[in-house]
Structure 1
Amino acid sequence: MSARLPEQELPVELTPFAAVEAAYPTELGRVCEALQRGLPVMVEADKELTPFFYKCLRDRLKREGKQFLYLDGRAAQEPPPGMPAPSLMSTLIAQLREAVRGAVRERIVVLPHLDLLTTSSGGLTTEAREVIPLLYENPEMVWVGFKDPSFPLPRVIENLFPHRESILGVSRERLRYLVTQRESRKFGRGLQPYALYKHVSGVNAVRLRRLLGAITGEDYPADARPAYAQLRNATLSGSLSVPDLDLHRDIGGYVKVKERLQRELLDVLAHKDTLGDAEQVKQVESLLPRGMIFWGPPGTGKTLFAKAMASALGAAVTVVSGPELKSRWVGESEENLRQIFVRARQAAPSIIVFDELDSFASARGTYTGSGVEHSMVNQLLTEMDGFRKEELVFVVGTTNFVESLDPALLRPGRFEFQLCIPYPNSTDRRAILSIYDRKLGLGLSERALEYAVKRTGDLVEGTGSRYSGDHLQALCRALARRRLREGNPGPTEPIDVEQALTEYLDRPELTAAEEKVVATHEAGHALCALHCPHAPPIDRISIRGDLAGSLGFVQYADRAHRYVVTRGQLLDNLCMLFGGREAEALLLEDVSIGSAQDLEQATEIARALVQEFGMGGDATLAVQRFAPHDARAPSLPLSNATLEQLDAQVRHLLESQRQRARDILQRERGLLLALRDLLLERKVLDREAFAHLVPSAAPKESSRG
């Protein structure tokens, strides 16, 4: 555990003014020095801190003989009975005019509410246009202006203050001077400043004193977590909250993603909490990545992982949509960004999630809008560079197109931690479905779970995308609604999963003759696959038109070997592709245009076998390499005779595999008819449905070509 401070080393009592002196001695010293040199100063601080910081400043400089004039717009005396009270701004303008043009004597003029001069978007109010000339009228005046971090200031006002001091939260080194002995007892015996700091790093000294004084509970508790929880809840403002999402219990699958998050971030932070040496803590903090990119396809849970990370850290989450930050007004987009960081730092530990980061942080030179994106990227980098190392504020950007992001964001020290969250594989899908099964009470039988895993392994019906975590959640919610409507207390079976997936799909309505053509075509593909030794097992055959752009399809299981592709596999692919066309020609004595895509894919494979991989069968033939910038242009010119030989090899491969497919179908004509008829009857077949048609010892054709 981190080092504990003995109770007797802490202050017994502490007023708010003493707390400000203890928390900000360096900042007060810098402001005093600037004022003594005659430099106007702007202090950026929370509203509640302003009067206390001013009094400490005044007490310090009074000893140097300096005098202050505090202009807050309040009238010196009440108006006569029956007379309306003057407005705050009119009184302030009168006070300013008197200070600038009145009796000349050396004094420091304090403006505690600079934000009164601005609109919410950072523009000048009507009254402020009268104030600006007064501020610049007397160059000998020494001003102290206080600015709330939540309000932007126009450049014309900021330029008045050559020295600026920003005060947000307290530094970790000063925290030990801000906790009294009585308050420390609520956290156990001896104060752990490092454990306490991560809950209050963004809280100013005055508010910190108020929060610590409000903590309830017994002294010297065995478990200090309730006291820390009170602090955590008190520092959450507005819509901020700490999500309750366990990385391992509530997110299914994605073992590698979780392991990387755990090892690279969560374990490092957990290790930091065990350290007591300040130098060791600083060294560990320097290793933490403050900027992270979570990238991958839509719906895979990028924001969900960020929330689970926040839950593990006890951090508040702010989810910001990139497009919502943009504004048509000059400077407002950058100001929106700045305010998000201010709120996040005040509620630290916190995580800012920029959803669709690429909407404003794409590579420079690719902007098509007003160009505000460039300024927003610069503002984002400025805010990230301004973090104190001890502050637990992290920035997560999610995107579907990591390659489009500005390279300046991805360099080490900024968004250096990049995490890919892909579509879920079969293991991930099983884990995700099991979690929803438990949470929604679906009662999935083992057969239904296995069917759902296999069924969601291909493209989503009616679209061109694969199944993501969001799709799986939608499937489970549809099953839950179906069980609720039907009042079904029994287990969920595969038929229920299929109905939930396809009940409301808008499928093409085929005639009987069209269904026969499609069934013949898909049966041909499947039968050739069953007799090719290198073909993956078949999971499903469908003729319902429930896959985007296809009236029917054969779905295969994942290959056992994904990274090494052999000549035998490619030749079997050619044979399988010809199976549909040859089945139509054999049984229908005609062919449809549905095989056009099969022929195109077969030609691409055969040409790659010959011209790229040198597998055409004649080892003496040259391999035609292609230039990287143009896939159609050979990098080395070949003679016409060699090109003719290459084309001949391509034609030979295509013809030999077409004939191979025809031989299989002619020999197994009876099986082809049985499989087609079963497809026409059931529309969809899984592996179990047609296993009885194929003998377990069915002969496997050798790959010829």
Structure 2
Amino acid sequence: MTTSVRRISVVAPDQASLAALRRQPPHITVGHALASGPYLLLLPLPPGWDVLSWETVSPELLLQADLPHGTPLYPPAYASPAPPPPDLTKRGGAEPADAPPRERAAPEEPVYRHPQPEELHEDQATVLAYGRDIAQVASLLRARLSVLVVAEKPVVPHLWREMASRAGLRAEVLEEPPENEDDAPQEQPPPGDPLIPMQQNPRQRLLARLRELVRGLNDDTVLVVQHLDLLAGGSDGQLSPEAREVTELLHGAPERVMLAFAAPSLSVPEVLAERFSTRVTITGVPRTVRFRDDQEEQPLGRALVSAGEAERFDRYDPVEFYKHVAGMNPVLLRQAMRYAISVHKDHPAPVARDLYSTIRAFKAQMSSNFEVPDVGFDDIAGYDEVKAHIQRAIDIVMGHHRLPPQYDHLRTKLIPRGFIFHGPPGTGKTLFAKAIANRMNATILVVSGPEVMGTYVGESERNVREIFAEARRNAPSVVVFDEFDSIASRRSEHSDGGTRAGNAVVAQILTEMDGFRPEVPTLVIGTTNRLNLIDEALLRPSRFESIAIDLPNDEARLKMINLHAAKFGIDVGGGVDELIASALRGRNGDDIHSVFRDAFVAAHFQDPPVAPTPEQLGQIVGQLQRKRREQRRSGRR
């Protein structure tokens, strides 16, 4: 008769714990042996095995550091260690038959142990995040196909090494050679010697080095050009001499395998890009990654965050983490995590919300244009219907990742691309945009429409591309085009240059919005007081949803008065607020703000100071009314 072997796989954090487990006496129970240290199991412990003696099982002892990343581990299935039983080899050691049974807690659910160690380097993060793209490019290189990769500069050094290594090719990297490769001092020619050669600039030295590398390529090598855009960037209509030479060199060796990189914000001439069989674009970070081919995908918040970082912030959710870093590359993400740990190292109990706010501040500091908004919906009085409408859209943008997998095909159809806030001047359209960014925990960029328009052909479209590229890098983000009608007016068939430039800008905006990735939370908001001028293609519900922000009604005006009065510390009790609201009927929120601002200035900066009494507030309202009438009369002249 054969006896089945009881096998368990025990995982220990270090060698000392393994040694301690090996020294356990044979008569001790399995449950007590596992409770003697920080041990975990590869598989759940079968029911009843914790009361078996240690000598009746065959333990496989493993180190946690030797396990593949993301291996699920299980705790022993009991709540607290049982007391060691009496030695059954000694006389009288058996439990009495009437002894009450020991209580056993219900088996625990499998506990996820954070897969990453305390140290996670930028190269590891890049390989984990872009594993699929790296495998795709490596397979193309193995098939002797040249690849042009569009990726951000910080990840390029980590990408090409892994791609070439997986392809099994030796990388010949284009790098600037030293100006003088010979360490021995060279004889200096006499001054004024006509035979003195002109010193080459760095780009000329790179071109000379490129010629050498192209001549030396063979079947086992791949030419790696890390900065093709900087070496030969531009457009086909304006090829620089360097771009022409690079194009001739690369097209002159069509049978050789090449791997080149370009930044998303810089263009490569199409005649040069055609040298590469395939173009692969790598941006942002994916929502899930896979540690191994035979393993289920894990959320990014588990793969690119170390165990210590995850444990530092209470209520950290790896799924929620993604929407705050979706547009960042892995290198920038790791820098942001190190910054967050440094900021909160002395805080007693930081929570996940502190982490997300710190990451947002980090992104704003890394960008010269984006900033952290300081306006919330509580700072905007009234407009309850508008707020409710906007909140529904924000819930979709920030919560679509929680949809079940069977609805993945609907993500792009649910997420709004942007809004157009239209209404009279001074009604708070830009304030609403800032409040939206604050509610999304996003950064914001406010661009005046005329600033986008450039002097030269193609400059305006490039400005739009750069704005959207930076918005994706800073996601979640909000881009606000103030005076949107100046860059998105109706397209015309007239052939004048100004209209052609406007048509090109509208077309570029449409292209950028149609290329939005649903997992990268980015909203585009246009503000205008002339909605009738906006191109109809932008007013489609799948692109921009128009929301009217009109002059405040009586209820909203009263709420604004009380909000601004409290902000400036001015008493409007006793019905004063209602009198001011009645006097300012037909005025916008900016007019209401100016009344209390002027009253505050008169009370604190005027000599002699004037107290903000009801009479004083009435005089300020009267002055505002007279100023508006004079402006209207001047406009009619």
TM-score by length of 1: 0.63
What's 1:470 paired with? 590
What's 1:299 paired with? 426
CA contact (8 A) 2:116 2:306 kept: yes
1:277 positional shift: 5.0
1:246 positional shift: 1.9
In structure 2, C-alpha distance between the alignment counterparts of 1:98 and 1:320, rounded to whole Å: 46
Residues 24-67 of structure 1: per-residue CA shift (max 9 Å, x gap) = 122112222333344332212121100100111011011xxx33
Residue 159 (str. 1) matches residue 280 (str. 2): no
What's 1:319 paired with? 446
Q: Residue type matched to 1:242 in 2?
A: V
What's 1:524 paired with? none
What's 1:181 paired with? 307
CA shift in 2, pair 1:428/1:37, >3 Å? same
Residue 143 (str. 1) matches residue 143 (str. 2): no
Report SS of the residue matched to 2:160.
helix
CA contact (8 A) 1:445 1:493 kept: no
In structure 1, C-alpha distance between the alignment counterparts of 2:373 and 2:323, rounded to whole Å: 17
Q: In the alignment, which of 125, 139, 143 is matched to residue 19 of structure 1?
A: 125
What's 2:415 paired with? 288
Q: In the alignment, which of 310, 322, 332 is matched to residue 459 of structure 2?
A: 332
CA contact (8 A) 1:188 1:220 kept: no
In structure 1, C-alpha distance between the alignment counterparts of 2:398 and 2:474, rounded to whole Å: 20
CA contact (8 A) 1:79 1:85 kept: no
In structure 2, C-alpha distance between the alignment counterparts of 1:384 and 1:5, rounded to whole Å: 42
In structure 1, C-alpha distance between the alignment counterparts of 2:146 and 2:470, rounded to whole Å: 27
CA contact (8 A) 1:251 1:432 kept: yes
What's 1:393 paired with? 522
Report SS of the residue matched to 2:138.
helix
Residues 261-315 of structure 1: per-residue CA shift (max 9 Å, x gap) = 22x2244467658x48555688677523122111112221111101011111111
CA contact (8 A) 2:219 2:256 kept: no
In structure 1, C-alpha distance between the alignment counterparts of 2:271 and 2:408, rounded to whole Å: 42
What's 1:211 paired with? 336
Residues 585-615 of structure 1: per-residue CA shift (max 9 Å, x gap) = xxxxxxxxxxxxxxxxxxxxxxxxxxxxxxx
What's 1:449 paired with? 577
Q: Residue type matched to 1:98 in 2?
A: E
CA RMSD in angstroms, aligned pairs only? 3.4
Equivalent pairs counted in the alignment come to 494
Residue 93 (str. 1) matches residue 207 (str. 2): yes
What's 1:433 paired with? 561
Q: Residue type matched to 2:161 in 1?
A: K
Residues 207-231 of structure 1: per-residue CA shift (max 9 Å, x gap) = 3233334442479957332233332
CA shift in 2, pair 1:377/1:206, >3 Å? same
Report SS of the residue matched to 1:48.
helix
In structure 2, C-alpha distance between the alignment counterparts of 1:373 and 1:437, rounded to whole Å: 44
- The residue correspondences of 1:339-358 to structure 2 (distance < 5 A) are 339-358=466-485
CA contact (8 A) 1:186 1:220 kept: no
Q: In the alignment, which of 341, 347, 353 is matched to residue 225 of structure 1?
A: 353
Residues 498-535 of structure 1: per-residue CA shift (max 9 Å, x gap) = 3454389589xxxxxxxxxxxxxxxxxxxxxxxxxxxx
In proportion to residue count, which structure has more helix? 1
Structure 1: 5+ residue stretches without partners: 459-466, 508-544, 551-705
CA shift in 2, pair 1:385/1:319, >3 Å? same
In structure 2, C-alpha distance between the alignment counterparts of 1:546 and 1:474, rounded to whole Å: 17
In structure 1, C-alpha distance between the alignment counterparts of 2:234 and 2:623, rounded to whole Å: 51
Identical-residue share of aligned pairs (%): 35
1:108 positional shift: 2.0
CA shift in 2, pair 1:85/1:244, >3 Å? same
- The residue correspondences of 1:177-576 to structure 2 (distance < 5 A) are 177-188=303-314, 192-216=317-341, 217=344, 221=349, 223-236=351-364, 237-238=366-367, 239-247=369-377, 249-262=378-391, 264-268=392-396, 275=402, 277=404, 286-365=413-492, 369-415=498-544, 417-444=545-572, 446=574, 448-458=576-586, 467-483=587-603, 484-488=605-609, 490-494=611-615, 496-499=617-620, 501-502=622-623, 548-549=632-633
1:362 positional shift: 1.9
1:170 positional shift: 0.7
CA shift in 2, pair 1:211/1:267, >3 Å? closer
1:242 positional shift: 1.8
Report SS of the residue matched to 2:324.
helix
What's 1:74 paired with? 177
1:391 positional shift: 1.2
CA shift in 2, pair 1:331/1:159, >3 Å? farther
Report SS of the residue matched to 1:49.
helix
Residues 150-208 of structure 1: per-residue CA shift (max 9 Å, x gap) = 3333334333334222212211112132223222212337x622211112111212232
CA shift in 2, pair 1:46/1:506, >3 Å? closer
Residues 69-104 of structure 1: per-residue CA shift (max 9 Å, x gap) = 110223396355367985321221101222334576
In structure 1, C-alpha distance between the alignment counterparts of 2:570 and 2:232, rounded to whole Å: 56
TM-score by length of 2: 0.70
In structure 2, C-alpha distance between the alignment counterparts of 1:438 and 1:79, rounded to whole Å: 75
Q: Residue type matched to 1:356 in 2?
A: E
In structure 2, C-alpha distance between the alignment counterparts of 1:128 and 1:349, rounded to whole Å: 36
Report SS of the residue matched to 1:412.
coil
In structure 2, C-alpha distance between the alignment counterparts of 1:290 and 1:111, rounded to whole Å: 36
Q: Residue type matched to 1:336 in 2?
A: N
In structure 2, C-alpha distance between the alignment counterparts of 1:277 and 1:187, rounded to whole Å: 27
CA contact (8 A) 1:447 1:493 kept: no
1:422 positional shift: 0.6
CA contact (8 A) 1:7 1:181 kept: no
CA contact (8 A) 2:177 2:209 kept: no
Residues 105-145 of structure 1: per-residue CA shift (max 9 Å, x gap) = 56321111123235799965554444333233333333221
Moved more, 155-164 or 327-336: 155-164
Residue 30 (str. 1) matches residue 150 (str. 2): no
Residues 615-636 of structure 1: per-residue CA shift (max 9 Å, x gap) = xxxxxxxxxxxxxxxxxxxxxx
CA shift in 2, pair 1:229/1:285, >3 Å? farther
CA shift in 2, pair 1:159/1:477, >3 Å? farther
Moved more, 169-178 or 15-24: 15-24
Report SS of the residue matched to 1:371.
helix
In structure 1, C-alpha distance between the alignment counterparts of 2:614 and 2:123, rounded to whole Å: 69
1:472 positional shift: 2.6
CA contact (8 A) 2:419 2:524 kept: yes
CA shift in 2, pair 1:283/1:437, >3 Å? same
CA contact (8 A) 1:362 1:405 kept: yes
Larger Cα-atom Rg: 1
In structure 1, C-alpha distance between the alignment counterparts of 2:255 and 2:233, rounded to whole Å: 28
CA contact (8 A) 2:116 2:307 kept: yes
Q: Residue type matched to 1:470 in 2?
A: D
